[in-house]
Amino acid sequence: MEINSFEDILKYCREMKATIPEVMIEYEIRKTGRTREQIIEGVRKILNVMIESVNNGLTRDVKSPSGLLNNFAKKVYNAKVNTLTVNFKKAIARAMAVSEVNACMGRIAAAPTAGSSGIMPAVITTMMEEHGITEDKAIEGLLVSSAIGLLIVKNASVAGSEAGCMGETGSAAAMGASAIVYLLGGDNRQIESAACFAIQGAMGLVCDPIAGLVEVPCIFRNAIGVANAFTSAQIALSGVESVIPLDEVILAMNEVAELMSPKLKETAQGGLANTKTAREIQRRFIYQIDIGK
Amino acid sequence: MPSIFDILGPVMIGPSSSHTAGAAKLGYVARQLLGAEPKQAEITLYNSFARTYKGHGTDRAIIGGILGMKPDDEMLRNSLEIAKERGLKYTFKLIMKAPKLHPNSARINLTDLDGNKIEMVGSSLGGGRIEIVEIEGFKVSFSVMTHTIVIIADDIPGSIAHISGAIAEKNINIANMFVSREEKLANMIIEVDQDVPPEVLEKIRSFKWVHYVRLVEPIL
């Protein structure tokens, strides 16, 4: 069972008369020989780690060793001002919470990477809280998101060192957008469009971490990744279709990744990492880091 | 083809799959190669590991692994303090430029209470995947994706047959076997498809020409 494109997934959905989550379970059974129950329990474990990481970030003292992150998620979660709604603010805070847990050596589920690990937990826990999505349904949502992630891994990359932050938070936002659409009853074409919009919104996004740490701007890009996911899902669920099909969007993503300078791919040599202030922070806190060229 | 659990997961302690999760695995493998509670650890960090270890908790991750913590163990964060409680003495040396080694590499020297030592060099390849590249001066290459038997023995005729026989006796399937030689000694890395019962290791250990046998279990 080969899955190389979104069209492959749709083909299996038709042949098996199955939903995307069912196709992904079948794919995993054939790939690993694990049983259906083992796979579902595996995803449940990931879901529980995600929920726990959100809660930990909102309740524990999470100040990173460098001091660059210092309990920002709680500030946002408890802010008196709402730019839109309380729910939206909370969704953003949840992504930041996991980013802070990650920076403080807490337990997270990389989805698809540690650097982008705030987005999927924020999307899923927000859907559970705001839409009453059950645990079993949330697992299906995660399976849909895994399909999108798989296609990106196969045809582009989710690694910051290869595709910048586009690969990390861009992929996570696309995964999140597809899960939201599925959980709100969207069809497979709407799932596809949502993933397209999310990637388009993150196309060319660089990875330029200050002092090489997974902290700033990572935490903000995780927050924006959640907004991207809900925005993209909203547009797709409204019936707007992506002009470019997902398979081509992912190929474009791969082309952009190849065109990006290595200085903008996790090496902390360009962009924000190369600003005067970032260099000062590097010297002050983390003198071990190579300044680069 | 990746598994869906390459996309959703791994569950790990942050912040970095290469600098934290992979580093913990390297320490954990070194502990298994020692085969006893370590009392002393000398660690050399190379390249990117040397430059960015503090911000990524690479030091805590490696020490945690040496203490027997897995990459998803939240105790990793406090491993330096736990090392003190458990009487593990450690030192870190930094080498910024080691062009022959992968950017994220570490040399780990461990000593147990009886003075037994082991030396290992390993690299963290990204996404939590690791490669062990040197054991006791032997060049090796394995990734601990499955149960792996590590042997050092005299380089004599028939040694491979005896060892593979001891493994096959218990119906254990050998997936891969690598042999390298240094002077009169041979190093064997044997990857097998399932767990290995202690009697197999005991049998191999009982051969007079075998000096060292350890089983390294995969860390998932």
**Structure confidence by residue, pLDDT tens digits, A171-213:** 999 999 999 999 999 999 999 999 999 999 999 999 999 998 9
Is there a single domain that holds both residue B150 and residue B131? Answer: no
Residue B141 placed within a domain: no
Among B113, B135, B157, which residue terminates a domain? B135
The residue with tokens 């595996």 is A42
Rounded to 10°, the helix A20-32/A36-59 angle is 110
Q: What is the pLDDT of residue B123?
A: 96
Among B77, B105, B135, which residue terminates a domain? B135
Q: What is the pLDDT of residue A286?
A: 59
* Chain B hits for A143, Cβ within 8 Å: 4
Is there a single domain that holds both residue B129 and residue B159? Answer: no
Residue B140 placed within a domain: no
Evaluated on CA atoms A231, A232, A237, A240, the torsion sign reads positive
Q: What is the pLDDT of residue A193?
A: 98
Radius of gyration of the CA atoms of chain A, in A = 19
CATH of the domain at B44: 3.30.1330.90
Q: Tens-digit pLDDT profile for chain B (220 aa)?
A: 789 999 999 999 999 998 999 999 999 999 999 999 999 999 999 988 988 888 889 999 999 999 999 999 999 999 999 999 999 999 999 998 999 999 899 999 999 999 999 999 999 998 888 999 999 999 999 999 999 999 999 999 999 999 999 999 999 999 999 999 988 999 999 999 899 999 999 999 999 999 999 999 998 7
Q: Do A110 and B77 lie within an 8 Å CB cutoff?
A: no
How many other β-carbons are positioned within 10 Å of the β-carbon of residue A270?
18
**Structure confidence by residue, pLDDT tens digits, A41-83:** 999 999 999 999 999 999 999 999 889 999 999 999 999 999 9
Q: Do B54 and A104 lie within an 8 Å CB cutoff?
A: no
Cross-chain CB nearest to A114 (options B6, B16, B94): B16
* Chain B hits for A290, Cβ within 8 Å: 51, 96
Residue B14 placed within a domain: yes
Is there a single domain that holds both residue B151 and residue B187? Answer: yes
Rounded to 10°, the helix A36-59/A86-103 angle is 100
Is there a single domain that holds both residue B100 and residue B184? Answer: no
- Which range marks the domain in which residue B173 is found? 146-220
Distance CA(A284)–CA(A270), nearest Å, equals 19
Q: Report the pLDDT averaged over residues A24-39.
A: 96
Length of chain A: 293
Per-residue DSSP letter, B68: T
Among B86, B109, B135, which residue terminates a domain? B135
Is there a single domain that holds both residue B111 and residue B199? Answer: no
Q: What is the pLDDT of residue A282?
A: 86
* Chain B hits for A150, Cβ within 8 Å: 2, 4, 7
How many other β-carbons are positioned within 10 Å of the β-carbon of residue B151?
22
Is there a single domain that holds both residue B118 and residue B25? Answer: yes
Q: What is the pLDDT of residue A163?
A: 95
Which of B3, B7, B49, B78 to mutate to test binding with chain A, by most A CBs within 10 Å of its CB? B7
Residue A162, φ and ψ in degrees, nearest 5: -115, -35
Is there a single domain that holds both residue B154 and residue B124? Answer: no
What token pair was written down for B156? 């004599």
Q: Spell out which chain B residues touch chain A, with contact meaning CB-CB distance below 8 angstroms.
A: 1-17, 20-21, 50-57, 60, 72, 74, 76-77, 94, 96, 126-127
Say which amino acid occupies A239: G
CATH of the domain at B194: 3.30.70.260
- Residue B93, beta-bridge partner list: B44
Overall number of domains in chain B = 2
Return the CATH number of A6-285, one of 1.10.3470, 1.10.150, 1.10.357, 1.10.4100: 1.10.4100
